[in-house]
Amino acid sequence: MTVELASSLQILRPYSNILAFYDGRIAGLRMFSPEPNWLDDGAFTLGCCSFAVVEGDEALVYDTHMSIPHARLIRRTLEAQGVTRMRVVLSHWHPDHIAGNAVFADCEIIANTLTAAAMVDNRERLENDTPPIKPVIMPTTTFETEITLRVGGTVVELRHLDIHSHDETVLLLPQSGVLLAGDTLEDTVTYVTQPKRLAIHLQDLARMESWAFTRILPNHGSVAMIEAGGYERNFIVATRLYIQKLLRLAAEPALAELSLADFAADSLASGGVSYFDAYEQVHRHNVEAVLAVR
C-alpha cells in the first residue's frame, strides 16, 4: 500500500528543547512507489528521523528529511511554535538527509567541507536517483572539523566523524549530555557504505566514546527509544562489536552464512540495540560489500 508522502510523520519531543520528526517502520506501507527505490527501501523501511534544537524564536534543523513534503511539515511546525530564525545542519550527503533542502533554501545550510564536496561529486546521481533530488541545494556555510553554535542559550557543538560515511557531522549538546548521532549509529546495525573504511570507523567510534554525553538520538532507530529520550552509551559498544565481526569475514567465511540475529548476537546481548527484521537485508548488503573488498 502506498500512502502520501509525510502523511505518517510523527512529531515527538524527547527533550524540552529538541523536536524529533520521525517517519517509517510501518509494516505494509510504502510512500513513493511499489517499485524499488531508496526512499521506501532504505529510509522509510528502516525508520528515519530528523531533529530540531529549538529555543525561543530560533531553531537548528538537523537534516531536512527524506522528501520535500517532510521538510515542509518540519518548517510549518517550527513556524507554528514561533520560530522565525532557522538554520540547517546536514549530517552527511546521503539522499534521505538532504532531500528537503529546497524548503530551507532561504536559510543558512551548514555542513562540513567533505559533505559539500560529496554533494558536488554526486550531484548527477542525486538528481537522477529514484526518487530524484532536483535541484540539489548546496550548503551555504562549511567548516573543517568542529564548530560551536548557539541556539538561544543552548550550546551545540558540530563535530566531524568518519563512521558510516566519511563526512558525518554529529551534534553534541554538552549542557544536556545529548548526542544527535546522524547515521554514525543505527539500530539494529550500521549500514556499510564504505567497506574499505571500516577500520577507520572503529577508530572514530573510540573517539566518540571518549566524549562526555549520556543519551544518543540517531536518525535511524526505534521511535519508542527516540521518544523516551534516546539510547544509552552501550549503543556504541553494540556498533563496535558488529563492525569488528564484519572485519573477520575474510578469515572466517562461515560467518557470512549467519542471519543477522546470529551474526549480531553479541551486539544484541550488549543491550545497546534491539532486533528489527528489516535490518536482515541491510546485514546481507553489508556482508556482500565487505567480502567484495580486495
Span 171-189, pLDDT tens digits: 999 999 999 999 999 999 9
What per-residue confidence (pLDDT) applies to 81? 97
Q: Could you give the number of structural domains in the chain?
A: 1
Q: Cell numbers at residue 68, please?
A: 520535500
What per-residue confidence (pLDDT) applies to 2? 75
CB 91 within 8 A of CB 170: yes
Any domain includes 3? no
Any domain includes 229? yes
The residues, ordered by sequence, that sit 6+ positions from 12 with a Cβ below 8 Å of its Cβ are 19, 20, 21, 22, 223, 226, 227
- pLDDT tens track for 28-78: 999 999 999 999 999 999 999 999 999 999 999 999 999 999 999 999 999
- Domain range spanning residue 176? 10-291
CATH number at residue 217: 3.60.15.10
Any domain includes 5? no
What per-residue confidence (pLDDT) applies to 3? 75
Any domain includes 244? yes
Rounded mean pLDDT for each run of 10 residues along the chain, 294 residues in total:
88 98 95 94 96 98 98 98 98 98 98 98 97 97 98 98 98 98 98 98 98 98 98 98 97 97 98 97 98 89
Any domain includes 237? yes
Any domain includes 235? yes
Give the CA distances from residue 117 to residues 112, 121, 123, 130, in Å, rounded to whole numbers and listed in that order. 9, 6, 10, 22
Any domain includes 1? no
Q: Cell numbers at residue 171, please?
A: 551534534
CB 103 within 8 A of CB 63: no
What per-residue confidence (pLDDT) applies to 179? 99
Any domain includes 164? yes
To the question of pTM greater than 0.95 for the whole model, the response is: yes
What per-residue confidence (pLDDT) applies to 92? 98
DSSP states along the chain: -B--TTTT-EEEEEETTEEEEEE---TT-BSS-SS--HIIIIIIHH-EEEEEEEETTEEEEE---SSHHHHHHHHHHHHHTT--EEEEE-S-SSHHHHTTGGGGTTSEEEEEHHHHHHHHHTHHHHHTSSS---S-PPPSEEESSEEEEEETTEEEEEEEEEESEEEEEEEEETTTTEEEEEEEEESS----S-GGGHHHHHHHHHHHHTS--SEEEEEES-HHHHHTT-B-THHHHHHHHHHHHHTTTTT-GGGGGS-HHHHTHHHHHTTS----TTHHHHHHHHHHHHHT--
